[in-house]
Amino acid sequence: MSLLYVHAGDDGATYRERFAHELPDVRCVAFPDIAPAHEIAFVACWNPPPDFFAPLAALRAVFALGAGVDRLLVRPDLGPRVPIVRLLDAGMAEQMVEYALLGVLMRQRHMVEYLLQQRHGEWRRHAPIARAALRVGVLGLGQMGGAVARALAGLGYAVAGWSRTPEARDGVDARHGDAGLDALLARSDVLVNTLPSTPGTRWLLDHARLARLPRGGFVVNASRGDQLDAAALRGLLDGGHLSGALLDVFAVEPLPTDDPLWSHPRVTITPHAAATTLPGPSVRQVADNIRRLLRGEPALGVVDRARGY
């Protein structure tokens, strides 16, 4: 009987029960319980401690229980012979759509300005903005970004999307490459970042690129914190070029209590909660892939290590 080990922090018992139901012919052990290292064939995890994978000589595949795989890709204890399998959705795309829409509405309905006015007891209305007149740019047109772009376009917003290579999406003005990125930034009243963290996307949103956004632009970062220059963002907010930001991810998490982003009047912070893994669909997806591997078939969602996703 194959052995699946689950390392999901405090949620281990929940995942173990669900995997046991989905995979009755596979033995499942979850942290903090211990399993014989030489028997572990599969691991489903968030972010295990250092050297966790080193003694797992029989390991056949690692399944990420989150949207990103960047932390797994840089681990020295997880060699290239072991495939890393990502979740293709597992309920997270719908949540990401909701989070992106929250940011869009904050810009469209002037919520940053109204919250600032509330602090001073100021009663002043701002002119409404029609959906079709609000230009939204979505960075990344994969599983998450594609869902965001399609949903916002379906609601009547003027949506453009950007990816490294050409990606067609119905109702979305798709751009790609360096020239496409510059053009998208220049026309984005709201910029929504859903890109995976790769060497090519780290610190992509530096001062020069953020400054290309139109005056009054609003930034939604729900991908990874190492893609956005927070100091540059603060400078552009303080200088009046950008109107606000909704930030869910940060270069250091949890965000240190003394970080100036916490107290910035034009920044709204959430604790990496834009799209969380739902146990039900994620377990079903991982279980299906384990059954495929046990039948000698390839898993779906195997990460291309060279591309980083």
**110 tagged catalytic:** no
Instruction: Determine which one of 272, 284, 291, 292 is catalytic.
Output: 272
Q: How far apart are CA 111 and CA 91, in angstroms?
A: 28
Structure tokens at 234: 């603060």
Instruction: Decide: helix, strand or coil at residue 281.
Output: helix
Interhelix angle 279-294/12-22, nearest 10 degrees: 50
Which one of the listed residues 16, 175, 224, 266 is annotated catalytic?
A: 224
Q: What is the torsion angle, in degrees rounded to the nearest 10, for the CA atoms of residue 202, residue 144, residue 246 and residue 191?
A: 70
Q: Are 248 and 221 within 8 A, CB to CB?
A: yes
For residues 180 and 192, what is the distance between their CA atoms, to the nearest angstrom? 15
Bond preceding residue 128 cis, omega within 30 of 0: no
Contacts of 31 (CB under 8 A, 6+ apart): 5, 6, 7, 8, 9, 12, 48
Nearest-angstrom CA–CA distance, 160 and 173:
4
Q: Could you confirm whether 120 is annotated as catalytic?
A: no
Catalytic residues: 224, 272
